[in-house]
Amino acid sequence: MSTDVPETDDILVIEGLGKSYSGHVVLRDISFRVRKGEAVVLIGSSGSGKSTCLRCLNRLEEPTTGTITLTGTPITGPRVDLNSLRRRIGMVFQGIHLYPHKTALGNVTLALRKVLGLSAQEAEQRARIQLERVGLADKEGHYPSQLSGGQQQRVGIARAMALEPQVMLFDEPTSALDPELVGEVLTVMKRTKEAGMTMVVVTHEMQFAREVADRVIFLDKGTILANGTPEEILIRPEHPRIQEFLARTRS
């Protein structure tokens, strides 16, 4: 299973990434590349390091070792402008972090005004485009308490996408949702991929991984056990550990 891709296509390069907490190793020697427009899905058991890896990619967690570059520019190190970095790498979290006192439109426009410095009119115009893309044009005046969990998560996706990032990170965005609401969020993510967005996704939704991923990376105890196509990892896995994991997800 090859992990090398042409450097001219790489948008995100992770080399030797490690993360420890008080001597406890969570990630060890994580290395992979993400091409522009590619969807890379990270899978593995709980505690395997998937979410920590994702959070290191936009420096919500500080890597202990290794380097990360975005379009050829190092984004690890003390001198990196984290606010600028997080405009370039958007993230949607497990929990739904919306401001309860702001409408769907207000939640999306806030970052556009505070981070990008857009006028109220410019911010609302861009926000409405993104709300339409996630199927919530008719909910712009609704507050989070008036929206379902799936709708709230779609507002979160619209908010991240409105900043026009180069890469989108999704950290188990359906894990907090009732089963009947999962599909609507996954559909929006599929459309996001089809529109050409580069994505790194942590998920337990194996069907989504099979349908959307260009590559699947299996993490086990903080290391990459396998990196390959969905067919190699999810359909015909060679490693017994991956076979065991997939058997449990089907049961």
What does the pLDDT look like over 118-151, one tens digit per residue?
999 999 999 999 999 999 999 999 999 999 999 9
pLDDT at 221: 95
Q: Output the average pLDDT for the chain.
A: 92
> How far is 28 from 88, CA to CA, in rounded Å?
26
pLDDT reading at 30 higher than 80:
yes
Q: For 128, phi and psi rounded to 5 degrees?
A: -65, -35
pLDDT reading at 167 higher than 90:
yes
pLDDT at 223: 97
pLDDT at 1: 45
Q: Which long-range contacts (CB under 8 A, 24 or more apart) does 184-193 make?
A: 184/135, 184/150, 184/151, 184/154, 185/150, 185/153, 185/154, 185/157, 188/133, 188/134, 188/135, 188/154, 188/157, 189/157, 191/133, 192/157, 192/161, 192/168, 193/39
Question: In which band, very low, low, confident or very high, does the pLDDT at 6 lie, cut at 50, 70 and 90?
Answer: very low
pLDDT at 225: 96
pLDDT reading at 191 higher than 70:
yes
Two structure tokens written together for 171: 């950290």
Mean pLDDT check: name the lowest of 66-70, 172-176, 232-236. 172-176
Say what the pTM is.
0.92
Question: In which band, very low, low, confident or very high, does the pLDDT at 5 lie, cut at 50, 70 and 90?
Answer: very low
- List, in sequence order, the alpha helices (H) in 17-148: 50-57, 82-88, 104-114, 120-133
Cα angle for residues 151, 156, 158 (degrees, 5° grid): 95
pLDDT tens for 73-107 read 999 988 888 888 888 999 998 888 899 999 999 99
pLDDT reading at 4 higher than 50:
no
pLDDT at 61: 93
pLDDT at 134: 95
Question: In which band, very low, low, confident or very high, does the pLDDT at 8 lie, cut at 50, 70 and 90?
Answer: low
pLDDT reading at 251 higher than 70:
no
Question: Which three-class secondary structure state does DSSP give residue 168?
Answer: strand
